[in-house]
Amino acid sequence: MEERAEMTQRFDISVGKLLGGDVGPLAAAPLTASPAKGTFFLETFGCQMNDHDSEKVAGLLLARGYRQVETPDAASLVLYNTCSIREKAAQKVFSRLGEYRTKQAAGQVIGVLGCVAQQEGEEIFERAPWVSLVCGSASYRKLPELLSQVEAGNQRVTGLDNDTDETFETEMTRRDNPWRAYLTIIEGCDKACSYCVVPYTRGPERSRASDSVLRELRQIAELGYSEVQFLGQTVNSYADPSPRKMTFSELLLAAADAPGMRRVRFTTSHPRDFTPDIVDAIDAQPKLCNHVHLPVQSGSTRVLREMQRTYSREEYLEKIELIRNAKRPISITTDVIVGFPGETDADFGETLSLLDTVKYDGLYGFKYSPRPNTPAQSMPDAIPEEEKSRRLTALQEKQREIQTGKLAEMTGQTFELLVSNKSRRENMWSGHTSCNRVVSFSAQQKELLGRYVDVRVTSAGPASLAGECIE
């Protein structure tokens, strides 16, 4: 999934106040005046799948006549869409619930959505009795029904099935970004990485029918979006359930043909299912963005086996070779976990040497975090926290060196940017390249937001690029 912070920190996991155990004592806090009925506040944690789920939930609520407000205090319905990929992210929601309880107004309904909801289930009602809706990410298709129950005043409403074979599709989605639209093509995950909670929280893999995906894509294009990002935990494992049986690369090519669409990107790819036809499609169709996010997790075949990643270091490197042999340069980014149980210095050394071999354009590094219901949780030889931190620093340091060199190589080159941000500084803008790099640049034009412009890169820092518009 995509960066919402710096390249080395994928999720915003800074935790203000951690409430390790029960937040019950706060339940006695006084209630203040009630906010306007039919208003909602929605806060999202975690990855782009969550961001996009929240866009769909917001669409659903707007279609029911709700109005979105900027603060929890002003909302009659307060929703938290949560992430449980690592422990700190999961704790954050309990911290929010605790903080918020002291300010909660009379008659407000509080709901917990997403992966923590799926993972903790009804336990959330015990820890935070003022919550009245708990709905996991695999149960969103039931949300309209659950909302009706909430509106009827039901105090403990749950949607917690994760054995669904349906995907979450809505009539209306309220998209946050006016230029780039997310579109989920596959939900859940059928891989069984031993550290990962996703197969448990998001349920089994379900692909959307290709005609439904392409119909939504055309609607998106008609609304004026020119860039779409296909989403899935293992996006390239896409398997069209309709008789059309489109492959993933065929779907990409069909998407690029939609009138008005200028860029199609996709994330996250699983190395095992990364096939040559995907690279051929990128080569054949310039509208397919030249960026692949291909998480490796570890450079050691032994650790990869323990992680149940289903490929060896060598097999992964063969996929990299495929991408490197494309006719146009394709940027490659990755995820790495350090400190998996039993990871030796030598194993970690292999991860560092893999970075030297691949020379990634970007990397998200994570310290291993034991998760409930995962096989790795009970594995012996846990790595001490200080050692995990040391390894993460070493990993980031190496990536920084590599990335500094790669960014410096971009100086003097010209890239097409989709302009998505206007700086407070006069005549300064920023946008992203097809390879997903952000470049800030100067331009004399009055209005550039949403436009495509050519920018020559004039300077590079360790994590940033600057340039000038040459249009």
Residue ranges binding ligand 5AD (CB under 6 A): 85-86, 195-196, 295, 297, 335, 337, 366, 368-369, 371
- Select 191 or 456, whichever has its Cβ closest to ligand SF4: 191
Contact partner, 335, from ligand SF4, ligand 5AD, none, Cβ < 5-8 Å per class: ligand 5AD
User: Is 196 near ligand SF4 (CB under 6 A)?
Assistant: yes
- Select 130 or 340, whichever has its Cβ closest to ligand 5AD: 340
- Distance in angstroms (rounded) separating the CA atoms of residues 470 and 455: 6
- Select 273 or 468, whichever has its Cβ closest to ligand SF4: 273
Contact partner, 422, from ligand 5AD, ligand SF4, none, Cβ < 5-8 Å per class: none
Residue type (1 letter), 340? F
E-assigned strands of 294-423?
Answer: 331-338, 362-367, 414-422
Instruction: Reduce the DSSP state of residue 439 to 3 states and report it.
Output: strand
Among 116, 193, 336, 402, binds ligand SF4 (CB under 6 A): 193
Residues 6+ apart with CB under 8 A from 133: 79, 109, 110, 111, 112, 113, 146, 150, 157, 158
What 434-437 contacts at long range (C-beta under 8 Å, 24+ apart), as own/partner pairs, is 434/263, 434/289, 434/290, 434/291, 435/289, 435/290, 435/291, 435/329, 435/330, 435/331, 435/361, 436/265, 436/289, 436/291, 436/331, 436/333, 437/331, 437/361, 437/410, 437/465
Q: Tell the smallest beta-carbon distance from residue 2 to ligand 5AD (Å).
A: 11
List, in sequence order, every residue forming a beta bridge with 134; answer none if it has no partner. Answer: 112, 158
Q: Tell the smallest beta-carbon distance from residue 234 to ligand SF4 (Å).
A: 5
User: Is 115 near ligand SF4 (CB under 6 A)?
Assistant: no
- Select 195 or 348, whichever has its Cβ closest to ligand 5AD: 195
Instruction: Reduce the DSSP state of residue 285 to 3 states and report it.
Output: coil
Contact partner, 282, from ligand 5AD, ligand SF4, none, Cβ < 5-8 Å per class: none
Contact partner, 191, from ligand 5AD, ligand SF4, none, Cβ < 5-8 Å per class: ligand SF4
Stretch that binds ligand SF4, among 161-169, 178-186, 194-202, 385-393 (CB under 6 A): 194-202
Contact partner, 233, from ligand SF4, ligand 5AD, none, Cβ < 5-8 Å per class: ligand SF4
- Select 77 or 90, whichever has its Cβ closest to ligand SF4: 90
Residues 6+ apart with CB under 8 A from 120: 127, 134
Tokens linked to 424: 């407070």
Cα–Cα separations (whole angstroms), residue 352 to 361, 405, 456: 15, 16, 32
Contact partner, 270, from ligand 5AD, ligand SF4, none, Cβ < 5-8 Å per class: ligand SF4
Q: Please confirm whether the linkage preceding 268 is cis (ω < 30° from 0).
A: yes
Contact partner, 134, from ligand 5AD, ligand SF4, none, Cβ < 5-8 Å per class: none
User: Is 199 near ligand SF4 (CB under 6 A)?
Assistant: yes
Q: Tell the smallest beta-carbon distance from residue 77 to ligand 5AD (Å).
A: 29
- Select 188 or 295, whichever has its Cβ closest to ligand 5AD: 295
User: Is 170 near ligand SF4 (CB under 6 A)?
Assistant: no
Q: At 91, which helix (H) or strand (E)?
A: helix 87-101
Among 54, 167, 233, 396, binds ligand SF4 (CB under 6 A): 233
Q: Tell the smallest beta-carbon distance from residue 125 to ligand SF4 (Å).
A: 27
HSE-up of residue 173 (Cα within 13 Å, Cβ side): 22
Q: Tell the smallest beta-carbon distance from residue 94 to ligand 5AD (Å).
A: 18
Q: Tell the smallest beta-carbon distance from residue 33 to ligand SF4 (Å).
A: 43
HSE-up of residue 427 (Cα within 13 Å, Cβ side): 7
Residues from 431 through 450 that contact ligand SF4 (CB under 6 A): none
Contact partner, 337, from ligand SF4, ligand 5AD, none, Cβ < 5-8 Å per class: ligand 5AD
CB 335 within 8 A of CB 379: no
Q: Which residue has the tokens 């291993």?
A: 368
Exposure class string for 125-152: b at 16+ Cβ within 10 A, else e: bebbebbbbbbbbbbbebbeebbebbee
226 closest CA partner among 253, 254, 259: 259
Q: Tell the smallest beta-carbon distance from residue 376 to ligand SF4 (Å).
A: 11
Interface residues with ligand SF4 (CB under 6 A)? Answer: 189, 191, 193, 196, 198-199, 233-234, 270
